Each structure stands twice: as structure tokens, then as C-alpha cells.
Amino acid sequence: MADPAVEQSPDEIETAVDAAIAVCDGDVRAALAAALVYNEFLERKLDQFRGLVSSGYTRGKISPGRGASENWTTGATFLL
């Protein structure tokens, strides 16, 4: 379950979606592509930071996770 302090209300999410579409001049496809590219960037940064944290410090609690951009049926990664 997500941390309640981090969760956004539906109104906040709708506002963020509307803002992303507006930044892309109303092009929903471009907004989605931008979100996917940014998500990939964040995943790479997270992997980089995971590599910097020793497993002794985390006591093995950090395990390499499946990327959100992986297709759950085939394990293939989407490329933009």
C-alpha cells in the first residue's frame, strides 16, 4: 500500500494530467511519450542509486526490481 503522505487526490492527478497535456500543446500522445521518457530516466537514476547503497546498510532489503516500463506479459522493454 502506498504511503498516505505521498498519495495524490484524484483532483490533483487530473490537474497534473491536464497540465502535461497543455505543455504538449494538447497532444495526448506527446504527453504520454514525455511521461514514458521521464519514467525511464527516473528508473535509471533509481538503479544508479541502488548500486551506490551497500547491501549491508540495507540488510538485503533492496532488491533489483522490474522496471515499470517492462511489458508484464513478455518482459520486453518498450523503446521510444
As a whole number of angstroms, the distance between CA 19 and CA 6 comes to: 19
Q: Is 63 left (phi over 0), alpha (psi -120 to 50) or beta?
A: beta
pLDDT digits 0-9 by tens, 11-69: 999 999 999 999 999 999 999 999 999 999 999 999 888 888 766 666 666 555 544 45
Own/partner pairs, 53-58, CB within 8 angstroms, 24+ separation: none
pLDDT at 8 (0 to 100):
77
